[in-house]
Amino acid sequence: MGLIGVPLMLCLLALAAVAASWRLQSRNNTTLSNRQLFLFRSGAILGALGLFVTATCFVDLFPLTRHSDGSLSISWLDRAWSAAFILAFASAGLAMFGRGKARILLVASQVFSILLTCASLLQNGV
């Protein structure tokens, strides 16, 4: 499985929690208004997208770029970290429009996503 396999499996675990929160909300007997349901599902979609971005941070798909002063950086990786953090926080905020266990599960998965993004930062030596 290697060193990359463990973080990717953790991302898949958080993604499964997002999918489970979607299904729980769909099966929930309490009705949400159309606006609340739209916002909750938007949060779930943003959470899934953020987890994919977090997974790319672990895999190191981004190339080194040379700057005019001769230094090297991975500017796309910095953008990916920023996007992963923003998407996770936005998803956790939008999860508040859900109800019951679905809301708790989506918030928990996004807290886990934030921790995974922090781990990605540490893994890449920032």
pLDDT band at 125 (very low <50, low <70, confident <90, very high): low
- Taking only the tens place, the pLDDT of each residue in 26-40 is 887 677 888 999 999
Task: Identify the band that residue 83 occupies on the pLDDT scale cut at 50, 70 and 90.
Answer: very high
Q: What is the distance between the terminal CA atoms of the chain, rounded to a whole angstrom?
A: 24
- Which residues sit opposite 73 in a β-bridge? 65
User: Whose CA is closest to 85, among 118, 44, 63, 37?
Assistant: 118
**Cβ atoms within 10 Å, residue 124:** 14
Q: Which pLDDT tens digit goes with each residue over 88-106? A: 999 999 999 988 899 999 9
Q: What is the pTM (predicted TM-score) of this model?
A: 0.86
Q: Which residues contact 93 (CB under 8 A, 6 or more apart)?
A: 43
